[in-house]
Amino acid sequence: MHFFKSCFLLLALIFLAACSTDKKEEYSNIKEKRVVVKSTYIGSESCKACHQEEFKDWKGSHHDLAMQIADSISVLGDFSNKTFALKKIKSTFFKKGNDFYVNTEGHDGNYADFKIEYTFGVTPLQQYLIKFDNGEYQCLSTAWDSVKNEWFSLLQPDLDINHGDRLHWTGSAMSWNMMCADCHSTNLHKNYDSKTDTYNTTFSLINVSCESCHGAASEHEEYYQNPPENGTPPKMYMHTEMESEEVVDKCARCHSRRSQITEYFNYQGDFMDHYAPSLLLDGLYELDGQIDDEVYVYGSFVQSKMYHNGVSCKDCHNVHSLKLKKQGNDLCMTCHEPNYNTEAHHFHPNNFEGSQCVNCHMTGKIYMGNDFRRDHSFRVPRPDQSVKYDTPNACTGCHDDKSDEWAAKIIVDEFGSERTDHFSDHLLKGYYEDPSAFEILIANHTYPDIARATAVNLYGSQPLSSEQLSKLTLYLKDSSALVRNEVVVSLEQYQNDEVAKYIAPMLKDSLRMVRISAARYFNMSNQDVATIKNYKTANKEFLTALHLNADFSSGQHQIALYYQSKGNEEAAIKAYKRAIEIDGYNNRPRMNLALIYYNQGLTSKSEELYLKVIEQEPDFSYPYYMLGLLYNELNNDIKALEYLKLATEKLPFNQNAYYNYALKLQGAGKHAASIVVLKRGLEYAPFNERLLYAKMLGEANTNLISDAKATCVLLMQIAPNNNDYKQLYQQLSQGN
């Protein structure tokens, strides 16, 4: 069996097929036609005359002070020749005349003086921006704690960050242009040129001004200064008549973890016409949907019962000052019944930390070193899930001297053993126990769209039967764009005419995010795209998104996939290398590049890349699996068995690792050992046909005929139309 090539067809994280040989279109040559907007930006001072209260609230807010020119008023940090050291790197802050400087390690590892151009933020911390020759601005990772009035590091103190690392202040993670600018200034145009690796980033207003939320206001101002006799006032982008969901979607533009898919925000269309929000995936969120990484509210809030009952940002926050409308439990009691604010409900003394609603229902984490932010999913504490799945819960988050079992028992004692149905029950069960739980979550439209889309993502990452595929395609007509999009993405690994006919209508979906995913599907296929209706228009949107994100490691990864689909392997290799250069810890491009090298016969380069992934992610199963297959191809049986074995001991669960390891053991005559391996694999996937078939072979070859017959019966139940299993059962029965 050609293990290496067969695994290539089955791995979702590896590019699946190199298809068309049409090389005429390059992603960097395609740009969408810009919409002409008549209104221009006039600045917040122009709004003040008519909107005095709103202006007063906004002035001095976090939006107003989001970014400022560095001067004696805006700079809060101590630049009186103060030095801050972290590990082996030290930064000295000082002034030259009226200008502010830092002496620290640069991108080449040498120390130099760098001028501070802008301040970024105000409280609880302030960062500082430095300009580089290519037009890129970098945020120092040493920041000013404006509460404690001291310098501190945004990075974890145990990390050793060297120049060249993406987390170094000169690295991609600290780039203002690509990571921060779109949400900190008004009318931001990134203007990145991937060919020269230069930026010409522009903005109309330096901060988050009135027009950042409401759109360019010149026509609005002109109308009220010179009102026409029969005119209609120009409608601003955010207005008082908006429904709650629209308010949340408009705020989500900046208050979400998302990727950008248009060159700039033109105040037209919906949120997902410009951005693709992140799902509730491991690394960003806990597996039950609670916050983990820095996810900026939207993805949490749309999970909540609040959101689904018509509550929006403006019900709790003054939208101009951003401050809470009331403090403490008084804010919650605006809507909730008073009996929730009693010891009978929260079981803590009143006016005590444990009696505060937010401490049970809005737990939080510290980001950027000192910035405490709360989870906006407003969930009921579930220590029972913590016991079973090791998720966090509010109870032991405070009572850290107690166990999850202790907390779970108290909940049962006080509220009974039944828990209200919650999407996280199915999300966790699907992830840890039974993937069919994802089907329940996807099908129930009362659950949050973001949770349903996450379930599609996780469900679709496993190999699906024809029946499961059929069910999944039904959700291409779902009311949720997030769900539709994830179905399209999940179907990328199924490149055939039958699936393609379901994807084709998505090229004219109402939302750009879905159209882009549909275009990507056809770019990865063997289809003659020239004959596919609506492909050309959707593909322009797809190529624009590629161009826009070319400064991201993930963006270069997507560009490499695109070039592979066009048969341009040389360009793909270049893009994968650039992706690794931008972020040396992004191992997806490293894995794909390793596969290309293997197919070119450059096995030593391939091996080196896989070993690097293992060095950086020693608990990640896939590089071990791929090395096992590579060594098998090289007839190195000892190493092949070693690495396939390791692949079965790592996460995530990879059914192919168990299958190929078992076959390799059987090939070596170790049938009993293969059964042990397959039984472990079947604990994760009890009805996996391939694993059961291999197990049956192992049982038959060790003369465990009754066990082999029982396994064969199960195979016949799973695949009743497979006559081969019936014949095998007869042979086993005769042998018995």
Please indicate whether residue 684 or residue 426 has the higher confidence score (pLDDT). 426
pLDDT at 736: 60
Burial of residue 659 (number of CB atoms within 10 Å: 0-12, 13-18, 19+): buried
Cβ atoms within 10 Å of 686's Cβ, excluding its own: 12
Q: What CA–CA distances, in Å, run from 23 to 103, 563, 564, 617?
A: 47, 8, 10, 35
Question: Which residue type does 201 have?
Answer: T
Contact between residue 502 and residue 476 where contact means Cβ atoms under 8 Å apart: yes
Residue 421 in tokens: 């149905």
**If you average pLDDT over every residue of the chain, what do you get?**
92
CB atoms within 10 A of CB 180: 20
Contact 354, 398 (CB under 8 A): yes
3-state secondary structure at position 565: helix
pLDDT of 82 > 90? The answer is yes
pLDDT confidence band for 230 (50 / 70 / 90): confident
Point out which residues pair with 202 in neighbouring strands. 189
Q: Does pLDDT of 251 surpass 90?
A: yes
Are 116 and 102 a contacting pair, CB within 8 Å?
yes
693, HSE (Cβ side, Cα atoms, 13 Å): 16
Q: Rounded to an integer, what distance in angstroms lies between the CA atom of residue 199 and that of residue 137?
A: 9
- pLDDT at 290 > cutoff 90: yes
CA distances from 129 to 132, 163, 623 (A): 10, 17, 38
Taking only the tens place, the pLDDT of each residue in 558-609 is 999 999 988 999 999 999 999 999 999 999 999 999 999 999 999 999 999 9
Beta bridge partners of 285: 282, 291
Q: Tell me the C-alpha distance between 569 and 588, whole Å.
A: 17
* Residue with token string 């070993």: 611
Task: Give one DSSP letter per residue of 574-635, joined into a string.
Answer: HHHHHHHHH-TT-HHHHHHHHHHHHHTT-HHHHHHHHHHHHHH-TTBHHHHHHHHHHHHHTT
Give the residues across from 373 on adjacent strands.
Answer: 365
Residue carrying the six token digits 């005119």? 231
H/E stretch holding 277 reads strand 275-277
The alpha carbon dihedral of 706, 712, 714, 716 has a sign of negative
Residue 34 confidence (pLDDT): 47
Helices 512-523 and 535-548 pack at an angle, to 10 degrees, of 100
Stated as kind and residue range, the H or E segment containing 92 is strand 89-96
Predicted pLDDT of residue 223: 94
What are the tens digits of pLDDT across the range 514-572? Answer: 999 999 999 988 888 989 999 999 999 999 999 999 999 999 999 999 999 889 999 99
Contact present, 44 and 210 (Cβ < 8 Å)? yes
| DSSP assigned state of 324 | B
- Give the residues across from 150 on adjacent strands: 145
Residue 365 has pLDDT above 60, yes or no: yes
Instruction: With beta carbons less than 8 A apart as the criterion, state whether 619 and 599 touch.
Output: no
Three-state DSSP state, 129 = strand
| pLDDT score of 12 more than 90 | no
Find residue 127's DSSP bridge partners. 120
Residue identified by tokens 């032991």 is 396
First and final C-alpha spacing in the chain: 30
Total residues belonging to the chain: 736
Question: Rounded to whole angstroms, how far apart are CA atoms 385 and 396?
Answer: 12
List, for residues 626-677, the tens digit of each pLDDT value: 999 999 999 999 999 999 999 999 988 899 999 999 999 999 999 999 999 9
b/e code 398-427 from CB counts within 10 Å (16+ = b) = beeeeebeebbebbeeeeeeeeeebbbbbb
Tokens encoding 157: 């103190």
Tell me the C-alpha distance between 712 and 735, whole Å.
Answer: 14
Burial class (CB in 10 A: 0-12, 13-18, 19+), 100: buried
156 band by pLDDT with thresholds 50, 70 and 90:
confident
Give the list of residues 6+ apart from residue 586 with CB closer than 8 angstroms, or none: 553, 554, 557, 579, 580
317: three-class secondary structure by DSSP:
strand
As a whole number of angstroms, the distance between CA 476 and CA 494 comes to 15
Describe the crossing of helices 553-565 and 535-548 by its angle, rounded to 10 degrees: 140
The tokens describing 144, both together, are: 């000013």
Please give the model's pTM, rounded to 2 decimal places: 0.87
CB 659 within 8 A of CB 691: yes
In the predicted model, what is the mean pLDDT of residues 701-719? 95
Helix axes 553-565 and 512-523, enclosed angle (nearest 10): 50
Looking at the DSSP assignment, which residues form a beta bridge with residue 371?
367
CA distance 25 to 654: 36
Q: Which run of H or E residues covers position 638?
A: helix 637-648
pLDDT tops 70 at residue 278: yes
Pick from 1-10, 244-253, 477-486: least confident? 1-10
3-state secondary structure of 91: strand
Q: How far apart are CA 202 and CA 363, in angstroms?
A: 38
Whose structure tokens read 């004696």?
A: 72
Q: What average pLDDT does the segment 73-80 reach?
A: 98
What is the model's pLDDT at position 242? 94
Asked if residue 686 has pLDDT above 70, the reply is: yes
Between CA 612 and CA 618 the distance in angstroms is 10
The predicted-structure confidence for 168-212, as pLDDT tens digits, reads as follows 999 999 999 999 999 999 999 999 999 999 999 999 999 999 999
Cα 312 to Cα 296: distance, rounded to the nearest angstrom? 15
Query: What region does 489 belong to: left with phi over 0, alpha with psi -120 to 50, or beta?
Result: alpha
Q: What is the pLDDT of residues 88-121, one digit of tens each?
A: 889 999 999 999 999 999 999 999 999 999 999 9
Interval 316-334 mean pLDDT: 97
Strand 258-260 and strand 198-199: the pairing is unpaired
pLDDT of residue 351: 87
Residue recorded with tokens 């202790």: 406
The answer to whether the beta carbons of residues 289 and 451 sit under 8 Å apart is: yes
101 contacts 113 by C-beta, under 8 angstroms: yes
Please state at what angle helix 621-633 crosses helix 3-10, rounded to 10 degrees: 150
Cα–Cα–Cα angle for 259, 262, 268, nearest 5°? Answer: 110
Residue the block writes with tokens 């098998």: 632
Residue 27 has pLDDT above 70, yes or no: no
| Residue 117 phi, psi (nearest 5) | -95, -40
Question: Which DSSP symbol is given to 282?
Answer: B
What average pLDDT does range 394-406 have in this prediction? Answer: 96
Q: Looking at the DSSP assignment, which residues form a beta bridge with residue 277?
A: 258
Q: Per the structure block, which two tokens stand in for 286?
A: 């806990």
